[in-house]
Structure 1
Amino acid sequence: MPKKAYLSAIGAIMIALTPAASFAQDATLDVPALEQRANDGDASAMMKLARAYSTGDGVEQDDAKAVDFFQQAADKGNSGALLALARAYQSGTGVPMDEAKAVDFFQQAADKGN
């Protein structure tokens, strides 16, 4: 079996074996409480909201909102947020594609050990 077909088959098996609940939105995500914490400057809450909006987990998927929360967390020094922003600018997800910004955010994330 060619390697590409083998990897595709493995991927299909993994998806088939993943419980359906793992694809469901997180009904336990308390968005208003997270938004309040984010407004109070909690970078962890900002990251949770960014991931939720990025994936649509517990909220309607919105890449622009995800980037906004990643930016807020990055402004607080969160290296994971810097990496997420780099990827967003590299791919043009939620923001216009901008290789220079992507490289800058990748460098900032690397400088922080990420």
Structure 2
Amino acid sequence: MQAKTDLFPPDLARLAAAAKALGHPARLAILQTLAARGTCVCGELVSELPLAQATVSQHLKALKAAGLVRGEVDGPRSCYCVDADALRTLADGLGAFLDPVLAALPPDDDGADCC
């Protein structure tokens, strides 16, 4: 059985998956923290964020699944870092998607005439 997402171009599916991974403020905060620190052990992230360790781990798992974060297990510690190439690719992809959408809008459109 074909998934509905398979009906769309692969580049849109990848962009949507990455955007979904960024769809929680905790994940954005994790990316900011990792970028500022370079690398980080999960416990260090927990001390920076108002979240339990299990919650931070779940958010890291989502970011890792989207390819935005890399991580490796070193005994009882899990060390993570931002995948800079993946983040740049995402930024380029978002720009390539949004630029023509914005260009198609009428000049000075503030959305006030919508529905």
TM range (shorter): under 0.3
State the TM-score, normalizing by the size of structure 2.
0.27
RCO greater where, 1 or 2, for CA within 8 Å and sep 6 or more?
2
Which is helix-richer, 1 or 2?
Answer: 1
Larger radius of gyration: 2
